[in-house]
């Protein structure tokens, strides 16, 4: 499986300069973020990816839509791969708003308010990561899935900190990390 961190968002651009939460809820991608998503699509084109899974946050769906546009892959949205709710950017958009913006995506399985409470404790994030790891390990097609997700979720799965647009191979059968960067 391949984990893809979403492209740079408006939140990421502001926070990287000030290190202060700019208060942007469910931010969109910047131009740089769209470029990073296109580069991720290029990298995925050389891999045996057959389907995409994305977090319901706007920045992840926008990244996945760019990848899907290049590769023509089916896309499903799953809140289990969402970010650890710790900043304003981790307040999502209501499902009704997402449906209006992306009517072609199957979003009926989402609760209207699907994101975790602020601040999601790290042990809850790691529980989500463990559930996701087990569910993917049980699937025969896990080697052919790319997951567009977030910094905290990737760190919870791999122990690594990665930048926007990063493409990270991941084996759900590998042991969970015990050390985190």
Digit-coded pLDDT (tens) for 147-172: 999 999 999 999 999 999 999 999 99
Inform me whether the pLDDT recorded for 179 exceeds 90: no
Q: What's the whole-number mean pLDDT along residues 131-145?
A: 97
Residue 26, token pair as written in the block? 């469910």
Q: Please give the full DSSP string across 89-143, using - where no structure is assigned.
A: GGS---HHHHHHH-TTS--TTS-SS-SPPSSPPHHHHHHHHHHHHHHHHT-TTGG
Cβ neighbours for 144, distance < 8 A, ≥ 6 positions apart: 48, 49, 50, 51
Inform me whether the pLDDT recorded for 118 exceeds 90: no
Q: Give the number of other CB atoms < 10 A from CB of residue 3.
A: 22
Q: Distances from the Cα of 5 to the Cαs of 22, 31, 62, 90, 166, in angstroms?
A: 20, 16, 12, 15, 5
Digit-coded pLDDT (tens) for 14-73: 999 999 999 999 999 999 999 999 999 999 999 999 999 999 999 999 999 999 999 999
- Tell me, what's the pLDDT at 181? 82
Domain span at residue 109 reads 2-169
Cα 125 from Cα 116, distance rounded (Å): 10
- Tell me, what's the pLDDT at 66? 98
- Domain presence at residue 176: no
- Domain presence at residue 180: no
Cα 134 from Cα 128, distance rounded (Å): 10
- Domain presence at residue 181: no
Number of domains in the chain: 1
- Give the CATH number, domain containing residue 109: 3.40.50.1240
């Amino acid at each position: 499986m391949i984990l893809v961190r979403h492209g740079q968002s408006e939140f990421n651009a502001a926070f990287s300069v000030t290190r202060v939460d700019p208060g942007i809820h469910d931010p969109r991608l910047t131009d740089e973020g769209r470029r990073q998503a296109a580069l991720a699509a290029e990298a995925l084109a050389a891999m045996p990816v057959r389907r995409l899974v994305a977090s319901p946050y706007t920045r992840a769906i926008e990244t996945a839509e760019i990848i899907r546009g290049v590769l023509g892959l089916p896309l499903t949205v799953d809140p289990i791969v969402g970010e650890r709710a710790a900043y304003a950017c981790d307040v999502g958009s209501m499902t009704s708003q997402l449906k209006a913006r992306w009517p072609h995506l199957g979003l009926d399985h989402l609760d209207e308010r699907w994101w975790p409470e602020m601040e999601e404790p790290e042990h809850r994030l790691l529980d989500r990561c463990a559930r996701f790891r087990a569910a993917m390990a049980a699937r025969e097609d896990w080697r052919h899935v790319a997951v567009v997700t977030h910094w905290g979720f990737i760190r919870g799965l791999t122990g690594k900190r990665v930048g926007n647009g990063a493409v990270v191979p991941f084996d759900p059968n590998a042991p969970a990390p015990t050390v985190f960067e």
